[in-house]
Structure 1
Amino acid sequence: MKATDIEEAISQLAAEPFNAAEFPYRLLEAFGNKETTLKRLRSGTSNASDVEGGLLQRSNIHLAVCGAGAVSQTLQKLKSSSATLKAKAKFVLATDGDMLEVEELATGEAKICKFVDLPKAFGLMLPLAGISAVRQIKDNPIDIRATNKLNKLYVELLKENPDWDGDARRADLNQFMARLIFCFFAESTGIFNGDHLFTKAIEQFTASDSSNTHEVIAELFRAMDTKIEDRAKAKVRPFAEGFPYVNGGLFTKRNEVPRFSRIARSYLVNAGALTWREINPDIFGSMIQAVADEDERGELGMHYTSVPNILKVLNPLFLDDLREKLEEAGDNRRKLQNLRKRLARIRVFDPACGSGNFLVIAYRQMREIERRIIIRLQGGADTVDNIVDVVNWPGERSAIQLTNFFGIEIKSFAAEIARLALLIAEFQCDVNYIGQKEARDMVLPLHDTGRVKTGNALRENWLEVCPPPKPTSAIEEDLGGPTGRLALDVSGEPDVETYVCGNPPYKGSQDQTAIQKEDLRIAFDGLDISPKSADYVWGWFVKGRAYLERAPSSIAFVTTNSIHQGRQVGRFWPAILRHEMEILFAVPSFRWSNLASNKAAVTVSVIGLSRKSTRTKMIFAGGLAQEVKLIGPYLVPNHTTVVDERRHPLSQVSPMVFGSMPNDGKKLLMSFDEAEEAVEVHGVPSDWVRPLLGTRELTKGIERRCLWLKNVDVDAARRNEWLAGRIDAVADVRRNSDRATTRKLAATPHLFGEIRQDGNERVVLVGGVSSEFREFLPAQYFDRGTLASNLAFAICNAPIWNLSLILSRLHLVWIATVCGKMKTDFRYSNTLGWNTFPVPPLTTNQKAELTRCAEDILLAREAHFPAAIADLYDPEGMPDNLRAAHDKNDDTLERIYIGRRFKTDTERLEKLFDMYTKMTAKAEGGAKPKKAKRGAA
């Protein structure tokens, strides 16, 4: 269910007369609960409430309708209820039909409002529908309400204008929507003189049957594109005379307007009634794009990137340094003025800018730093909330120009919205910092905004989009262009700073279109490596590296983990780090979540890159900031080593083999029932039928069997008619194969194509892939006779302490780093992950301790039989005794490594890479291991 649909249902519920008996069920229905769920709650079979008038839905909400004036007391009863705790309710809600209070129990966030204002609380309650609400949506649900109104208008206009619903006209419709939104915002904020000037004009001058709505709007747009002194000559109609001249490119193109139905006109007027001045400028572009994208229309979270995530890029790239310099400046006027001059020289460039979120946030953050500078220069008290001091200072206007913000965006509509979002952000900042009247006087006619180019970022020349600064004797005197900004006295050559940032698209090599593959080929042109296996995001790093060579700058991108994990590390990072490049900072592996329902959050990292310098290198992980000497391509502190595959274990652990491959056309494989029939009906010896497990069977507890005739006389096997049929079928499949090696296997059709087990060993079996949500790798210990398929790995006849290593957090972070992922799941490799895993020499007592730890884990699992690994290792439902056994295992193992528990995964990796470097050098007779050196190609 989309957030916009929920908002509509909640609004309807709040507008209806209050029905105490039905309200709880209508509320749950609004958040997407099915009728069958509501029936069970109505019958009382699933209502576990212990509060009078209450309704409790497990793992969701405990709510109650109470008597008049008892809302607060009832909410406290719900919070202190034992049933609330036992049922793991996320929210409590109480209402008497007049007032309403709701609280999210995990965070303590609450909303108190009149019942008719229930829509103001729906943003907080979005998790009831499985939607992860970011802070901006919780605090400001107007963004969702606006998206909902625009979505309905957009769809209705397409119905009424089918000729606009295609590639040829879609850009016109999108531009029309951008103009509407500007008008809504302008009339709500005072940019247009008069209260709701635009919406009232629609109401007053368009016919109720909507027949002339398009003509009236077209005339309003024409007026806003005509200077006041030229309107008489242009014969602007009287009803449009009150509108200001806007210009700025927004109304200068085609002024054709789509036709409106009565419904579309109604949606237009309703949208205008919203309080548009409350729109978050950092969400503005995403909101509009959520309307314009057909496949994701109305799903704001598909596009919205939360401010905290964006700041993970911008803060270490340059904002933190600006704030530090502000603190160092104190009240020193010269230092404060120089810092403000520096702000005026900073350029921000997003070569994958979408609707402009990164640019808008960068601009707003820089304006906040400038605000604090001005307060200090005027002798005011510099506090974060001190805005009123600045409001009364007319003339102190921003030195930060929108023309210092650059972008590249492949969609023309998104690029236009990015430019518009910057203008709106500037106006809102001006209102806050210099006052409403001064801001309004400055904004029209619209001046130059961000320099966002429509194009393919991997084919555009970045040096042309955001060219290196030219030496000049002074910065442009009028820092704000035509708006009359503050002129700063600058002498000498300007020290311009350029920061490249953004969130480029992620596409694995197998998922790329032919056009995207060609994009990478063009981006990689000039490098002596092939982009054949490269993730699409590598293109931005390659282009960014080339930009760094020509322009003084630093870059930072949000990136899929694939570029610093697995085989791509050794293939591409040496080329990126050549010519004296280095990783400046990193934020390894965190959840990049958004608002969208039923959309898994992506695990990403942030990587900052610059030319080699003396700047402090930083790694931000686990809420901690760590200063390091250098950062390697795995984002591990102080290690540039690249891990290569090994045929044999580096440490003194048992060898691990790839599972056996049937290559049989599924003729040697059977289900559990088929295996029973083979033994009981067809007389196949039970010893010839063995359990066969791949990753799926291991994790989900699926029973699968195979015919294992490795040490069986084939003539004896053929005397069984049923077996002979199976063997002949395998021979036919192999003979008809396109592969010569498979055709050769037709000579031994009773055997697996590739055999890596004897079949009679004890075995530790390891899954080939594991969910990114699972905290431990899937592995199990089996007695003799169990086989691993080619979709798993096996350690045969191994001491059980090997299982302790595999099930540790240490091993998981090593695998995640050096093996990488298959899509979003951990991908295991014996040659790259197990054989390279550094393990210190273990004493007999230490092996015994680890053996007991492994046994404790197996016993904890056994206590929950027949639950499968997938169930036992659900992050939200892992049994306490199993978690305790794993915690003991990690504690025991990590104390062997460093005498205590590791604090973070970064610390774990730093230790493992240090050991790997030393152990490989020793194993190779003192030769240094392979490194991603600067200067290497």
Structure 2
Amino acid sequence: MACWHRTAAEFLNGHGGDIAFVSTNSICQGQQVTPLWKPIFEMGYHINFAHRSFVWNTESEHIPNVYCIITSFSQKEWPSKKAWEYTGRGVVESTPAILNGYLADAPTVFIDRRTKPISDVPPMSQGLKPADGGCLLLSSEDRANLLGEEPQAEQWIRRFSMGEEFIKGIDRYCLWLPNITQEELAELPAVSERVEKCRIWRSEQTKTGDAYKLSDRPHLLRPTKKFEEGTYIGVPKVTSERRKYIPLGFVRNGMIPGDKLYFVQSDSLTVFGILMSQTHNAWMRAVAGRLELRYSYANTIVYNNLVFPDTTDLGSRSIEDAAQRVLDARKTYPDASLAELYDPNNENKYPELTAAHQALDKAVERAYGWELDDLTWDEKETFIVSSLFELYSQKVNAE
């Protein structure tokens, strides 16, 4: 689909005319934006109207729904642009001043993958991708059965979570054996059996793949260089587009993050507060990829390119206090999972949490020097995204 955009732009280059395509939404998300839209914009084209991500329904029983956008662009910029946003709150029509390659009302800036944060903040890493054939991962039932057979194995079992388990509060476990000795392993025949099954499975995989390369270390779920013991902030990779906030949380119980869970090894309430705010989530909505309509987070695109505020001690304390208030509000609903707490249909059920997030949003906005109290949620979103693109542009130009 991207080739048709480029071909049409080259065909009409200098001849006038408007181009419009229905396409998959991926061409205006994440890593796809720069290689497609940068050369088109350099030819002098402007995006003049856009229908942002929506579902193209089909009546067929066998063809899945397609997640689409509609873009119109030409070398003559329209004096009035149009955009339609399809959200859980319905269709929102707007008249943006600019439509950039992310279909955001923001400066024309291109976000490239970055291996390190652009701001002075702790790095965010992707969790461990299991390559074990299911031998080292345990359900609650598996764990109970293993401990029933071998109670002394308990010290070698850790909680494990992908993004879905993290959000929904589903218990899952793994054998965590990086420090086990051969003597200790020999005393655990049931655990040894699982390790041996892992070795056999890995040795049968494609020789150029990661799993085969780990066949000489069958006790390891994955090499653990990036993961250190201690507190971290868990960030699910995939989350519903209906949510205002990605459900993040501190992990202090030694849980091992899977590859669908990013982690920031820090106990900083300031970092947590900024990531939990509308500001970070607005940036994420603008630049992240999508999985169907769901947000697909990437540390190299979203976190590493977010310009954090230069907080004063007072600003940092305000964010910390507001972030702690969010955590305290969650504790008042001990039986609710993060999925339930951050379901937009449940806002009225958790008034303390809603109020805490409103206070946190204001604290973060003020740390950036913004006063947005008189704006609606959607107006704030537009302002925040535009401002963050501008801050990113300034930061990149100053490097």
Q: TM-score range by the shorter chain?
A: 0.7 to 0.9
Q: How does 1:269-418 map to 2 (within 5 A)?
A: none
Q: What is residue 689 of structure 1 aligned with on the other side?
A: 157
Q: 1:668 and 1:638 mapped to 2: Cα distance?
A: 47
Q: Which residue does the alignment assign to 2:184?
A: 716
Supply the AA of the counterpart residue of 2:200: D
Contact 2:310 2:367 survives alignment (8 Å): no
Question: Aligned to 2:97, what secondary structure does the other structure show?
Answer: strand
Q: Can you list the C-alpha shifts for 1:856-881, whole angstroms capped at 9, x where unaligned?
A: 22232232222222222222223332
Match in the other structure for 1:905: 381
Question: Contact 2:104–2:286 at 8 Å: present in 1 too?
Answer: no
CA contact (8 A) 2:285 2:295 kept: yes
1:774 pairs with 2:243: yes
Residues 409-450 of structure 1 show CA distances to partners (whole Å, capped at 9, x for unaligned) of xxxxxxxxxxxxxxxxxxxxxxxxxxxxxxxxxxxxxxxxxx
Higher relative contact order (CA 8 A, sep 6+): 2
Question: Aligned to 2:264, which of 795, 798, 803?
Answer: 795
1:915 aligned onto 2:385? no
1:773 and 1:785 map into 2 onto residues whose CA distance is 30
Query: What corresponds to 1:611 in structure 2?
Result: 75
The aligned counterpart of 1:508 is: none
Shift of 1:610: 1.2
Q: Which residue of 1 aligns with 2:322?
A: 853
Deviation track 1:305-329 (CA, whole Å, cap 9, x = no partner) reads xxxxxxxxxxxxxxxxxxxxxxxxx
Shift in Å, 1:800: 2.6
- 8 Å contact from structure 1 (residues 763, 784) kept in 2: no
**Deviation digits for residues 490-547 of structure 1 (CA, Å, limit 9, x no counterpart):** xxxxxxxxxxxxxxxxxxxxxxxxxxxxxxxxxxxxxxxxxxxxxx3x3553454245
Partners of 1:709 and 1:718 lie apart in 2 by 13
Task: Give the structure with higher Rg (CA).
Answer: 1
Structure 1 residues 663 and 638: alpha-carbon distance in aligned structure 2, compared to 1, 3 A threshold: closer
Which residue of 2 is the match for residue 841 of structure 1?
310
Letter in 1 for 2:363: T
Is 1:657–2:125 an aligned residue pair?
yes
CA distance in 1, matches of 2:344, 2:130: 34
1:179-258 equivalent positions in 2, closer than 5 A: none
1:563 matched to 2:27: yes
* 1:824 is the counterpart of 2:293: yes
Contact 1:657/1:756 (CA < 8 Å) preserved in 2?
Answer: no
TM-score (normalised: structure 2):
0.85
Partner in structure 2 of residue 586 of structure 1: 49
Q: In the TM superposition, what is the alpha-carbon distance from 1:592 to its structure 2 partner?
A: 6.7
Q: Distance in 2 between matches of 1:663 and 1:642?
A: 35
Match of 2:97 among 594, 616, 627: 627
The worse-fitting range, judged by mean Cα deviation, of 545-554 and 860-869 is 545-554
The one-letter code matched in structure 2 to 1:711 is N
Candidates 543, 552, 568, aligned match of 2:16: 552
Identify the residue that residue 339 of structure 2 maps to in structure 1: 870
Amino acid at match of 1:673: E
1:892 alignment counterpart: 363
Contact 2:319 2:360 in 1 (8 A): yes
Say if 2:82 and 2:93, in contact at 8 Å, map to a contact too.
Answer: no
Aligned: 1:577 with 2:41: yes
Once residues 638 and 725 of structure 1 are traced to their aligned partners in structure 2, the CA distance between those partners, rounded to angstroms, is 57
Question: Residue 699 of structure 1 aligns to a residue in which SS?
Answer: helix
Kept after mapping to 2: 8 A contact 1:694/1:790: yes
1:69-80 matches, cutoff 5 A: none
Alpha-carbon offset, residue 826 of structure 1: 0.4
Question: CA shift at 1:671, angstroms?
Answer: 1.3
1:434-583 map, 5 Å: 536=1, 538=2, 540-549=4-13, 551-557=15-21, 559-583=23-47
SS at match of 1:627: coil
Q: 1:667 aligns with which of 135, 157, 182?
A: 135
In 2, the alpha carbon distance for the partners of 1:561 and 1:846 equals 38
Question: In 2, Cα distance between the equivalents of 1:841 and 1:892?
Answer: 13
Q: Does the CA contact (< 8 Å) of 1:661 and 1:754 recur in 2? A: no
CA distance in 2, matches of 1:893, 1:558: 37
Aligned mates of 2:321, 2:106 — CA distance in 1? 35
- Shift in Å, 1:742: 2.7
Once the 2 structures are TM-superposed, how far is the Cα of residue 594 of structure 1 from its aligned partner? 8.2
What letter is aligned with 1:763?
Y
Corresponding position of 1:172: none
The code of the aligned residue for 1:589 comes to R
Distance 1:864 1:595, change over 3 A: farther
Question: What is the one-letter code of the residue matched to 1:573?
Answer: W
C-alpha deviations, 1:714-754, integer Å up to 9, x for none?
33122211111111111111111113343231221111223
Please report how far the alpha carbon of residue 767 of structure 1 lies from its aligned counterpart in structure 2 after TM superposition. Answer: 0.5
**2:106–2:387: 8 Å Cα contact kept in structure 1?**
no
Which protein is richer in helix relative to its size?
Answer: 1
1:728 corresponds to = 196
Q: In the TM superposition, what whole-angstrom CA distance separates every residue of 1:467-510 from its partner, at most 9, and x where no partner exists? A: xxxxxxxxxxxxxxxxxxxxxxxxxxxxxxxxxxxxxxxxxxxx
Q: How does 1:114-125 map to 2 (within 5 A)?
A: none
- Name the residue aligned to 1:752: 221
Structure holding more strand per residue: 2
Corresponding position of 2:89:
none
Q: Partners of 2:250 and 2:106 in 1: how far apart? A: 37
What count of residue pairs does the alignment treat as equivalent?
382
8 Å contact kept, 1:644–1:832: yes
Query: Deviation per CA, 1:751-810, whole angstroms, max 9, x where unpaired?
Result: 122325555311211111011122211221121411101121111133132222222222
**Any conservation in 1 of the 2:270–2:319 contact (CA below 8 Å)?**
yes
1:635-650 to 2 correspondence within 5 Å?
635-637=103-105, 639-650=107-118
The match for 2:352 is 881
Give the SS at the match of 2:107.
coil
How far apart in 2 are the matches of 1:809 and 1:890? 6
Distance 1:619 1:675, change over 3 A: same
Deviation per CA, 1:798-847: give whole Å up to 9, x if none.
Answer: 31322222222222222232221112110011111111111121222322
Q: 2:196, 2:46 → 1: CA distance?
A: 60
**What is the 5 A alignment of 1:155-170?**
none
Structure 1 residues 863 and 736, CA, compared in 2 at 3 Å: closer, same or farther?
A: same
Runs of 5+ in structure 1 lacking a partner? 1-535, 925-937
Structure 1 CA distance, aligned partners of 2:205 and 2:67? 40
Distance, in Å, in 2 between the alignment partners of 1:854 and 1:662 is 32
What residue ranges of structure 2 are gaps of 5+ in the alignment? 85-91
Q: Please give the alpha-carbon distance, in whole angstroms, between the structure 1 residues aligned to 2:106 and 2:234.
A: 34
- Counterpart residue type for residue 750 of structure 1: H
Return closer, same or farther for 1:720/1:764 CA change in 2, 3 Å cut-off. same
